[in-house]
Amino acid sequence: MDNHKIKVGVSNKEGQLGFLFARGGLREGSGRKSIGVTKKVSLTVTEEIWDKIENQCKDNKQSRSEVIRSILESYYGN
């Protein structure tokens, strides 16, 4: 029988937890690479705009964040 043990460890990055398997550990530079700064915002737009965003998400198999990021980058020229 496989015995998978999981531990929770603290990364070198402030405030981040990581899940570790029985072997190995958190390594500096491992994991998904950052694309920028994360800030939580609340956004109010019309139902029509939300529908367009949701449709773009489905059509392009993207998250809401990816779609909104793409819109902002297009507008600001990145």
What's the pLDDT tens digit per position in 13-40?
A: 566 666 655 555 556 667 777 888 888 9
Taking residues 40-60, report their average pLDDT: 95
CB neighbour list of residue 18: distance below 8 Å, 6 or more residues apart = 8, 9, 10, 11, 26, 31
Per DSSP, what are the bridge partners of residue 21?
6
CA angle 9/13/17 to nearest 5° reads: 30
For residue 1, is it within any domain?
Answer: no
Q: Domain count of the chain? A: 1
Confidence of residue 61 (pLDDT cuts 50, 70, 90): very high
The per-residue pLDDT for 64 is 94
Q: Which domain holds residue 71?
A: 6-25+35-76
Longest pairwise C-alpha distance within the chain: 55
What percent of the chain shows pLDDT beyond 90? 46
